[in-house]
Chain A
Amino acid sequence: MKLTVDNMTLERGGEPIVSGIGFELAAGEALVITGENGSGKSTALRGMAGLLPLASGSVKLADETGKPFEGPVREYCHYLGHQNAMKSGLTVHDNLDFWRRFNGHPHLAVEEALEEVDLLHTADLPFHYLSAGQKRRVAIARLLVSDRPVWILDEPTSGLDAPSVATFTGLVKAFAESGGILVAATHLDLGINATRRLEFAA
């Protein structure tokens, strides 16, 4: 499996925000994007996730033989943005269970995913009872309940305390070792050997 981003340019209101990005990632590799606020990291990630139309360039996903995957790339991606994509009125379990059923390709059971982020005890609580860090951990658990070969993460550890960050890097590392591709905007050292860096200038 190989993720190829070629000469990707994204515009907002006619002005280029991100221009000419290109890289290739193979299975098990990670790309870490750094840069100041407003340098276009989030825009680039949203473009890769298919949430923003590309002004030019392409994002492609292909298998080892170079045969492109069927359908749009976004269908093979997990996207974790600034928001957690959870409903505050529903319980933690119901939130995750919804995404597990809606997104298809179920992976871990909801309880197992919560166990991974050490939040099993909150399963039956409404989401809004949780603290900001706990909410973020539930959002990370969403990545585990359905199976996607590409993870696109935007500041995934914002609001997390040190032990939770360690848990998170562990999860990400395991994902890369199982052959996943990771693109993340973060200042953390993810501990993945095959990590490339992309520095955005404002």
Chain B
Amino acid sequence: MTTMTADTQKISGVWSLANPGRFMGFANRAVPVMGTVAILLLLLGLYLSFNAPEDYQQGYTVLIMFIHVPAAWLAMMTYTIMAISAIGTIVWRHPMADVSLRSAAPLGAVFTFLALATGSLWGKPMWGTWWEWDARMTSVLILLIIYLGLIALSKAFEEPAEAAQPVAIMTLTGFVIIPVIKFSVDWWNTLHQPASVSRFDRPAMSAEFLYPLLVMAAAYMAIFFTLHIMTMRNEVLARRIRSIKRQAARRNSSKATLLHEDEA
């Protein structure tokens, strides 16, 4: 529940920070604080994780879960944030919404990749193969492809502002269709039901596993928001540089030559 309120605060926070200048001020103050919180939470989470007891079935491999599960959560949360940003782009055409969407996409892709890679590491001792076309892994793989496709789309335009609407529409389309994909992949998998796969049903988790997991999830979330604000700051700066360059091209040459010499 705490995560929910954090989310809603974030959204209402975006409104007051809709002005890029004010956002930059906020970002410069927030990044050190949030970064520190993220590192502390991560250290605590790792400490708790390594002190968690061995699972009687999975042995040490259960430790991967503390990395893997929050990554999968974050992969989904990031897409939700992107979808909300997409609404901001489509409805209000606000540039900061596009900045938020665009900066979240690579982070989401990284978390998704992390979930897949750790899942595959876990699968080797448990299933005997690195990769299993299990419903869960397959849907996460599709999510990764969607993330990468959105990144490719946002980079395909020469002028980033032109990419805002198409990327936002594709993001929202994905958000609507992802549950259908997930559902159909589940259905596809039960249809075939390969014998080798033991679908891992999670039993009620005991507290010594739950606490490290929650702390790790909080750490991941802090890392995400820190990085998101940092990448958004980069994007705002990149756009400023772009407009400065554009002005430099227009400037009459005598002035601009001077500027050039100053730079050199």
The answer on direct contact between A and B (beta carbons under 8 Å) is yes
Whole-angstrom distance between the alpha carbons of A131 and B249 in the complex?
8
Q: A129, B251: Cβ atoms under 8 Å?
A: no
Q: List 17 A-B contacts (CB under 8 A).
A: A88-B158, A89-B158, A119-B253, A120-B260, A121-B248, A121-B249, A121-B251, A121-B257, A121-B259, A122-B249, A125-B245, A129-B245, A129-B246, A129-B249, A130-B249, A131-B250, A134-B249
Whole-angstrom distance between the alpha carbons of A118 and B254 in the complex?
9
Q: Give residues 222-264 of B contacting A (CB, 8 Å).
A: 245-246, 248-251, 253, 256-257, 259-260
A197 in the interface (beta carbon within 8 A):
no
Q: Give residues 121-135 of A contacting B (CB, 8 Å).
A: 121-123, 125-126, 128-131, 134
Choose among A120, A128, A131 the residue that contacts B257 (Cβ–Cβ < 8 A).
A120
Residues of A within 8 A of B (CB): 88-89, 118-123, 125-126, 128-131, 134
Q: Considering only CB atoms, which chain B residue lies closest to A120 in the complex?
A: B257
Residues of B within 8 A of A (CB): 158, 245-246, 248-251, 253, 256-257, 259-260
Q: A121, B260: Cβ atoms under 8 Å?
A: yes
Main secondary structure of the interface of B (DSSP, over half): helix
Whole-angstrom distance between the alpha carbons of A121 and B253 in the complex?
7
Q: Considering only CB atoms, which chain B residue lies closest to A88 in the complex?
A: B158
Extra A-B contacts (4), CB below 8 Å, given A120-B253, A121-B256:
A121-B251, A121-B260, A126-B245, A129-B249
Whole-angstrom distance between the alpha carbons of A85 and B259 in the complex?
28
Whole-angstrom distance between the alpha carbons of A123 and B260 in the complex?
9
Chain A proximity of B135: nearest CB distance (Å): 41
> Which residues of chain A come closer than 8 Å to B251, judged between CB atoms?
121
Whole-angstrom distance between the alpha carbons of A119 and B253 in the complex?
7
Q: B158, A122: Cβ atoms under 8 Å?
A: no
Chain A proximity of B87: nearest CB distance (Å): 30
> Which residues of chain A come closer than 8 Å to B259, judged between CB atoms?
121
Chain A proximity of B1: nearest CB distance (Å): 48
Whole-angstrom distance between the alpha carbons of A96 and B250 in the complex?
20
Whole-angstrom distance between the alpha carbons of A88 and B157 in the complex?
12
Whole-angstrom distance between the alpha carbons of A89 and B157 in the complex?
11
> Which residues of chain A come closer than 8 Å to B260, judged between CB atoms?
120-121, 123
Q: Considering only CB atoms, which chain B residue lies closest to A126 in the complex?
A: B245
